[in-house]
Chains A and B, each alone.
Chain A
Amino acid sequence: MRTVEVIVTSSGEVIINATGFAGSDCEKATAFLEMALGKLAAKERKPEFYQRRRRTHQQKIGL
């Protein structure tokens, strides 16, 4: 399940954690928050970011 978790520390720093997304969909999901809240301090992509979306393959085997 895709969720966006936002942790706001007691010093007012915000950590946005996008979970369950594949590929760059996560960036689209959190961009509105990142832009609205303030200045980007750091960004870290997790392995799943680089995962390609599933594609269906069709193969035809001739007789």
Chain B
Amino acid sequence: MSHFTTIRTQIRDLQALREACAELNLELLQNTDARGYGSNHQHAEFVIRLKGPYDIALNRQPDGTYGLTTDWWDGHVEKEVGGNYGRLLQLYAVHKTAREARSRGLSVQRAQRNDGSIKLVIGGV
């Protein structure tokens, strides 16, 4: 045991995002409109099309990360991706970690934990 680091996940890798969306059974679309309340539509670089009435818009920010915006009204989005995009960020981080490890020839084992967290053990380090 040597050190613990805590990271706040930021979306940078579109392929990892694509994989996370696929696992959630959601479409990731490019250069289209995200649906919001009433007739509010926001054009965005990427849109995660949800099953409910509202979508998630993603736009690249100056620091290279993708900012997420959505309409949280009435819990529609929270139901699909978790409060504050939790489930989406979780799966993005899982897929991003796996991609980074595998691209370095390391092994990855994934396990679901009872508290809802996902554990990845990286071997060959």
Contact = CB atoms under 8 A, between A and B. Distances in A.
A16 B93 contact: no
B122 A44 contact: no
Contacts of B93: 8, 12, 14, 37-38
Given A2-B125, A37-B9, A9 B2 contact: no
Interface size class of B (residues with CB under 8 A): 35 or more
Contacts of A54: none
Contacts of A14: 6-9, 93, 97
Interface size class of A (residues with CB under 8 A): 35 or more
Contacts of B125: 2-4, 29
Contacts, number: 150
Contacts of A20: 1-2
Contact of A8 (B85, B117, B121): B117
Nearest to B103: A32
Given A3-B121, A7-B119, A8-B118, A34 B5 contact: yes
Interface in B98-122: 100-101, 104, 113, 115-122
Contact of B2 (A6, A11, A22, A36): A22
Given A4-B122, A21-B2, A46-B1, 4 more contacts: A10-B90, A10-B117, A40-B7, A48-B2
Interface of A: 2-22, 25-27, 29-30, 32-34, 36-46, 48-49
